[in-house]
Amino acid sequence: MAKQFQPGKLNKRIQFLDFVTVDDGFGGLTESSVSVIATVWAHVKEVRSKVDDLTKDGEIGNRVETEFYIRKKAVNIQDDFIIRFNSKDYRINAFYDSELDYYIKIIATVQND
């Protein structure tokens, strides 16, 4: 029997974003902006922190891995989507069916500018 999950834990709003490809005027295409694909309720949990090499500014970087749980039918996730939560953009590292019934687990890290 699969584990149960309390739907009340889906208490944070997150957005899934994707780049919009537009004509560049010279016969090619360019990614110019992002569009909101979906806004859904999620359970958000920071799970791991890793100190990385020096950043481009010469500072020690800290990479925090975050788990997002959403309902399976909330959005059709793609690898290149971006998650926006609390004014931060997260890169999706992995996503798969959770051990919890009817949920997807997404592992993401904050995107560096």
Separation CA 38–CA 110 (nearest Å) = 19
* H-run or E-run covering 62: strand 60-71
Confidence of residue 17 (pLDDT cuts 50, 70, 90): very high
- The structural domains of the chain, with segments of one domain joined by +, span 8-110
Please give the span between the terminal C-alpha atoms of the chain, in angstroms, as a whole number: 43
What letter does residue 7 receive in the DSSP assignment?
Answer: G
Predicted pLDDT at 19: 82
Give tens-digit pLDDT for 21-57. 777 777 776 766 788 999 999 999 988 777 666 556 6
Whether the pLDDT of residue 83 is over 60: the answer is yes
Write the CATH number of the domain with boundaries 8-110.
2.40.10.270
Average pLDDT rounded to a whole number, residues 85-96: 92
